[in-house]
Amino acid sequence: MNKRKLILLLSILFFSCNSYSHYDRGGMVSSANDLATRVGIDIIKKGGNAVDAAVGVGFALAVVYPQAGNIGGGGFMIIHLNNPDLKLNTSIDYREKAPLSSFKDMYLDDSGNVIDELSTTGSLAAGVPGSVAGMLYALEKYGTMNRKEILEYSVNIADTGFFIEEGLADALNSYQSEFMQFPGTMNTFGGKFKTGDRLVQKELANTLRRISEKGRDGFYRGETADKIVQLMKNTDGIISYEDLERYQPVERDVIKGTYRGYDIISMGPPSSGGISLIYLLNILENYDISKSGYNSSENIQIMTEAMRRVYADRSEFMGDADFVNVPIDKLTSKKYALSRIKDFKIDKAGNSSEINPGNPFANESEETTHYSIADGKGNLVSVTTTINDVFGNKQVVDGAGFFLNNEMDDFVSKPGVPNIYGLVGNEANAIQPEKRMLSSMTPTLVFKNGKPFLVTGSPGGGRIITTVLQNIVNLIDHNMTLKESIDAPRFHHQWLPDEIQIEKRLVSKEDDEKLTVLGYYLKGISDFGRVNAILINEDGTMEGHSDRRGYGSAIGF
């Protein structure tokens, strides 16, 4: 495609965002950005499969959604292949790793206190990026198109620019003071932005070109690696050539469960997402939660008690299973779930223990991103990727045009001290060289009678798991449409702090009072989670929806 044609195309696209699309059989893509969604659809229309489209969308998001869409970060991809010669469910783990020179107490001062911002901002906050290696692995093994065809979209968009939407303009403007610490960031993203401005990213285009030409060596070796390591040297960071050279994605078994006859496929460690989702569903299966309505006090109470128990176990037992023993079978067994909820009492709120003080949600962000893809041939891909916080560690690699992650904050800096999502943890998630930090990302597939039913996932830090849970429960138990199941107000409990975090409009005054009398503390919070999902009907038609809370789009044909 020549550049003039591309700009014309982009102008048309900019004014035609769709958050909902339905009854399509050819293919469906739902992502956080309309342009990225259209890249995926174009790839499927050209004959690419869902994996080709996912990789195209991933690289496109790296350009149009710099808050989260990443080559400086990591993620998880769940793949369901339905080729006549190859039918499988698998997952690709391209989570960032702790650098070789990292160590357990690296964020503590001499008195053993956590040093403010060290795990969230600047070089020391960054884990070794995994996205490029992971996406290319997926493309080479399960895709059908070649790297250059797929990368062409993102190279062109970075090179010729795209028109920014309101969400990105607002985000860029509100982070200017943090960007100022980093010359590389100011060079690319310094200034005042408004909706409709064209953002050109030449340095990023060159980085993507190197990846297009040389594959993983275009990122983990040569010029891009030089720029990353140079930045580290200039700013007391620790990611080395050896770290980059050694980074490998890992293909892992998916985590499996069932819920009221549906099959659930999700991400295993180093994510806590799949285990926690199945554990939650296993508890809820013991109750008729459809009876009283999704927003009733009864429903919220039982779901809260399930969440409390699951997040308590998350904090103690979950971490990178390559380093620690995660009791996956037990945590996902129906028997264990039942034993954990046995002490639940309907007439009284449960009680979580006390936790160290702090304001865990001060840095609330919604800047991981999830995309869902179905290619009309029965192949499904569900991807959640992240650089953790909005714009990651806020540091663009000088001359390379992309943000590094601040994923190191997903480790436990100190037992009991909450991370930016208020999550606490222990030994299982302590920092160790080359270990992957525990994640909550929950890219998920649901099957009904063996046939694809739902492709889903969300950003939202620790609230990802409960967001995906509510999407599933709203569909299966409360008979909502896909759109309703995603747009409905949500709530969340994560053991500590001991509070039900609740989006406005979820509960009536009466139900709020009922819960308060039982001893629950309800805390109103702003919207969380941004689901991008696809529902596949029995007749093979598809519906896609992009959460009302974001600026994304779902498109099918």
From 81-89, 163-171, 331-339, 439-447, give the range in contact with ligand DON by CB under 6 A.
439-447
From 208-216, 339-347, 365-373, 505-513, give the range in contact with ligand DON by CB under 6 A.
365-373
- The only residue of 264, 326, 381, 441 in contact with ligand DON, by rule CB under 6 A: 441
What character string, x for contact with ligand DON (CB under 6 A) and - otherwise, covers 318-357? ----------------------------------------
Tell me the C-alpha distance between 304 and 520, whole Å: 10
Question: Residue 206, interface with ligand DON (CB under 6 A)?
Answer: no
Site for ligand DON in 238-267 (CB under 6 A): none
Q: State in angstroms the smallest separation of the CB of 111 from ligand DON.
A: 28
Angle of helix 131-142 versus helix 147-160 axis, rounded to 10:
140
Nearer to ligand DON, 314 or 483 (CB): 314
Question: Residue 439, interface with ligand DON (CB under 6 A)?
Answer: yes
Tell me the C-alpha distance between 544 and 483, whole Å: 8
Q: Which of 368, 384, 386, 456 is catalytic?
A: 368
What character string, x for contact with ligand DON (CB under 6 A) and - otherwise, covers 451-490? --------xxx--x--------------------------
Contact 66, 397 (CB under 8 A): no
Q: State in angstroms the smallest separation of the CB of 273 from ligand DON.
A: 8
Cis omega (within 30 of 0) for bond into 270: yes
Contact 130, 97 (CB under 8 A): yes
Q: Which pair of structure tokens corresponds to residue 7?
A: 């700009």
Establish how many alpha carbons lie within 13 A of residue 33's alpha carbon, considering only the half-sphere containing its beta carbon.
Answer: 28
Q: State in angstroms the smallest separation of the CB of 174 from ligand DON.
A: 15
φ/ψ (deg, to 5) at 472 = -70, -45
- The only residue of 19, 120, 301, 368 in contact with ligand DON, by rule CB under 6 A: 368
Q: State in angstroms the smallest separation of the CB of 84 from ligand DON.
A: 35
Nearer to ligand DON, 332 or 368 (CB): 368
Please confirm, yes or no, whether 368 is among the known catalytic residues: yes
- The only residue of 93, 203, 285, 367 in contact with ligand DON, by rule CB under 6 A: 367
Query: DSSP 3-state assignment of 108?
Result: strand
Question: Residue 299, interface with ligand DON (CB under 6 A)?
Answer: no
Which residues, including other chains, have CB under 8 Å from residue 31's CB and lie 6 or more apart? 37, 40, 57, 61, 369, 370, 371, 372, 532, 546, 552, 553
Nearer to ligand DON, 225 or 254 (CB): 254
Question: Residue 366, interface with ligand DON (CB under 6 A)?
Answer: yes
- The only residue of 440, 470, 532, 546 in contact with ligand DON, by rule CB under 6 A: 440
Q: State in angstroms the smallest separation of the CB of 439 from ligand DON.
A: 3
Question: Residue 550, interface with ligand DON (CB under 6 A)?
Answer: no
The H or E element that residue 523 is part of is strand 522-525
Contact 472, 305 (CB under 8 A): no
What character string, x for contact with ligand DON (CB under 6 A) and - otherwise, covers 507-536? ------------------------------
Nearer to ligand DON, 379 or 405 (CB): 405
204: nearest Cα among 396, 406, 391, 1:
396
32: nearest Cα among 76, 78, 70:
70
**Cβ atoms < 10 Å from Cβ of 508:** 12
End-to-end CA distance of the chain: 22
From 129-137, 172-180, 213-221, 361-369, give the range in contact with ligand DON by CB under 6 A.
361-369
Percent helix / strand / coil, the chain, rounded to 5: 35, 20, 45
- The only residue of 365, 382, 385, 466 in contact with ligand DON, by rule CB under 6 A: 365
Tell me the C-alpha distance between 77 and 119, whole Å: 25
Nearer to ligand DON, 81 or 318 (CB): 318
How far does Cα 470 stand from its chain's mean position?
16
- The only residue of 386, 470, 494, 546 in contact with ligand DON, by rule CB under 6 A: 386
The CA–CA distances, whole Å, from 410 to 71, 185, 420 equal 18, 23, 8
- The only residue of 206, 388, 444, 466 in contact with ligand DON, by rule CB under 6 A: 388
Tell me the C-alpha distance between 344 and 348, whole Å: 8
Q: State in angstroms the smallest separation of the CB of 486 from ligand DON.
A: 16
Tell me the C-alpha distance between 79 and 381, whole Å: 5
Q: State in angstroms the smallest separation of the CB of 204 from ligand DON.
A: 21
Which residues sit at the interface with ligand DON, rule CB under 6 A? 365-368, 386, 388, 407, 410, 439-441, 459-461, 464
Residues forming the active site: 368
